[in-house]
Amino acid sequence: MVKNLFPREGSWDAVGINCSDCKSFRSPPKWPDEQKEVFCNHHQVSLKFELRSNGYMEGEWFCKYFASKKGLGKKLSVELDKVRGSLQDNVVYKFGRIGDDFDEVTIK
């Protein structure tokens, strides 16, 4: 398990790294995603497990291959680089509280 030591740079409670901000994320035609069409082009899998019942994203998720569409702040880039080698190829990680292990979903 990998500990969540990422700084909160997205907002007071958000890290600012999420699949929806990744270059490999395929967004649904419209939000909320009632048809559960969110998809990862890198892994070639549905990301519907990241959605709440109302069709909006539940929390912040990322994987080893996360590549930001808009760029990350320096602190986030450094922290991601520190843990990237410890991350598994076929797992998507969900941020929780600082110091806790990440929640994990195996995707293949």
Select from 33, 11, 3, 7 the least CA-distant residue to 20.
33
> What pTM was estimated for this model as a whole?
0.86
Exposed/middle/buried for 10, CB within 10 Å: 0-12, 13-18, 19+? middle
Per-residue pLDDT of the chain (108 residues; tens, 9 = 90+): 676 767 666 565 678 889 999 999 999 999 999 999 999 999 999 999 999 999 999 989 999 999 999 888 888 888 899 899 999 999 999 987 767 778 899 997
CA distance from start to end of the chain: 18
DSSP 8-state class, residue 32: S
CB atoms within 10 A of CB 56: 11
The domain limits of the chain are 19-106
